[in-house]
Chain A
Amino acid sequence: MAEIEIRALRKAFDGGEVLKGVDLTIEDGEFISLVGPSGCGKSTLLRIIAGLEPQSSGEIWIDGSSADGVRPSARNLAMVFQSYALYPHLSVFDNIAVPLRMKRLSALERAPVLGRLLPGRRRTERVIREDVERVADQLEITPLLKRKPGQLSGGQRQRVAVGRAIVRQPRAFLFDEPLSNLDAKLRVHMRTEIAQLHRQLGTTFIYVTHDQAEAMTMSGRIAVMIGGELIQVGAPSAIYEDPRDIRVAEFIGTPKINAFPGRIRGDGRLEVLGHVLHAATSAAAGECRVCVRPERIELSGSGILSGTVVHLENLGSEAFVHIGSEGMNAPVVVRVNDPGLLPAIGASVGYGFVPDAVRAFDAGGKRVATSIASRIERPRGVAVV
């Protein structure tokens, strides 16, 4: 149970600055995901929270006391690594027992031969055995306790790594891309398990991932990190629906959000590819980008925009149509809910979107507020000029 506060955290390696002043307060019992493209500094941030790496400046506070200079184990945080980091020479039982033995046995009691003779060791070992077996039972790995990590599948190793983390009842859990080494099916399954584990334990979870789907499905809050900065922190739905920065909009959501080159006119109306939209903004006139998610675009003959179908992705339950349009560098991706209604490759199609689907960003990439310009009344136009 811990509240973790990160204040103005900076980290510079000899190559450059990896973390450029991160401020974040993680509530007690919260499941927060740090998500961002690889190299954005999210793993470094996690390692600094864990105490595996020192920060260049800034502070970490855990439960109201400063963690600076406190050793990793003394912070009482548990970490699950991407590669699981199980000790290959120890059985599953011993792997899970390591943190308990380190904490509860003295160095003398841990000694290979002599330790066995000490009376205290046997008593402590019995308690440790009970604890390990309880955790193994909880994670359903009891039959594996005698095996070595080399004899386990990826998913089983993952469970053992989680077991080693929860057995010591830490104040918070740190996950460093724990599912990236698993195959796609198992990954989806483990997502559910980790989310359930969080509900069961009620402990603070900090989960680092580059997979925005993991972040979206599991966490209570998402912190999007790009280029060593926290760009936006919020609930998954808020991050998806209301991105504050074009980098967030582009990173969250698959397929990527469509970004049209646009312009804010002098009267505040937005213009895309020469068409004036039914959306307006109070922001200053100039270049902007108008972004629309694939599911908010509709194929329609009456749409204001048009192009040629260059590629189709049929996923069975849904399909994506890639449309090459004049004036666009990348194809526009449109989701079609009924794959039976797909146009042919090479066909020209019209498409459009309603004004409230528009997320506009200024030249600096910052979000500008838009409103529906209601001067012209139309009966339910899909796209409006």
Chain B
Amino acid sequence: MAAAPSPRAWVFAGRRPAARSAYALAAPAFGLMLLMLIGPLAAVIALSFTDYQLGAPSFAWIGLANYYEMFADRVFWISLKNTLTYVAIVVPGAVALGLGTALLIQSGAGLRSWYRTIYFLPVMATLIAMAIVWEFMLHPQFGLVNGLLRAAGLQGHSWLQDRGTALYALCVIGIWQATGFNMVLFLAGLVSIPKHLYDAADIDGAESAWSRFRLVTWPMLGPVTLFVVTISAIRSFQVFDAVQVLTKGGPSKSSEVLIYTMYTEGFEFFRSGYGAAVTVVFLAFVLLLTLLKSALGNREVHYA
């Protein structure tokens, strides 16, 4: 017992201060992360259990009352259904169009950067500004869309003022905006596909463009596609600006979406607690998508 500590014990003893300084060194980054990222998230979740109103001097913990109210509210369910419809239309649309555009640009020889820039424009322009253009284009009387329809002998439509079409008009705008972003990601993915795989496909008898796409392009784009789908879905869940500028969720809640509901509850009716509860639902969907992506990504993507 009285023997000197073995070298092993000494090594372990020496480890403690090292661990302490490691924690000390990680502390600033960890503290900032806590303060800037995890803190606000925790605050939103905490807020959703209160009856806090913006500017109110006090608040009370009301447990799940906000959630009960929300799940009983018809507007919330309409909003959720509209959001899911929007995602279900915009994600496939924007992914397919983005991929198609990228393939066309990649296969052509000239003007590549020109096309790339043009298709990327909607991403760079703020949607608020572009929404004004869309409002003009979709105007029932002097809009470009109805003008074209009339010129073709078809009847025009009050796109944004009709309960049946408002949400779908927003979907079109959403696809229009997201396509360019997806295209850039797909272009990057296409460039990184090794040329020799296409040579091998040629030798192996994949003669049509379609069979080359199926054999090489599509599988090799797998990781990019997964990322593009996730990002498009998250961004579609976040749809807000076009709704705010063009329809304000109307007519009669037909284009009400989650973030817009959150915005009106939180910032127009100042019911911060209730708004926070809607946000938590929104965050749950985003988290679900992220988990789905990483689960799929870990399983599917192990390319040499």
Contacts and interface: CB of A to CB of B under 8 A. Distances in A.
Interface string A14-57: 00000000000000000000000000000000010011100000
A150 B303 contact: yes
A107 B211 contact: yes
A83 B194 CA distance: 10
A72 B196 contact: no
Contacts of B299: none
A83 B205 CA distance: 19
A88 B301 CA distance: 10
Given A77-B203, A83-B196, A89 B219 contact: yes
B200 A81 contact: yes
Contacts of A87: 197, 200, 215-216, 219
Contacts, number: 74
Interface stretch (A96-104, A275-283, A328-336): A96-104
A99 B203 CA distance: 8
Given A98-B215, A150-B302, A89 B220 contact: yes
The size bracket of the interface on B is 20 to 34
A78 B303 contact: no
Chain B residues touching A, majority SS: helix
A366 interface: no
B206 interface: yes
Nearest to A89: B219
Nearest to B199: A52
Contacts of B222: 89
Contacts of A88: 219-220, 303-304
Interface string B280-304: 0000000000000000000000111
Contacts of B210: 107
A107 B199 contact: no
Contacts of A150: 302-304
A77 B199 CA distance: 13
Contacts of B216: 87
Interface residues of A, number: 29
A129 interface: no
B6 interface: no
B228 to A, nearest CB: 17
B162 interface: no
Nearest to A78: B203
A89 B204 contact: no
Interface string A79-91: 1011101111110
A148 interface: yes
Contact of A79 (B199, B215, B302): B199
B58 interface: no
Contacts of B194: 83, 85
Given A73-B204, A86-B304, A148-B302, 13 more contacts: A71-B202, A73-B206, A81-B200, A82-B196, A83-B194, A85-B196, A87-B200, A88-B220, A88-B303, A89-B222, A99-B204, A102-B206, A148-B304
10 contacts: A50-B199, A52-B202, A73-B204, A78-B203, A85-B194, A85-B196, A87-B200, A98-B205, A99-B204, A110-B214
Interface of B: 194, 196-197, 199-200, 202-208, 210-211, 214-216, 219-220, 222, 302-304
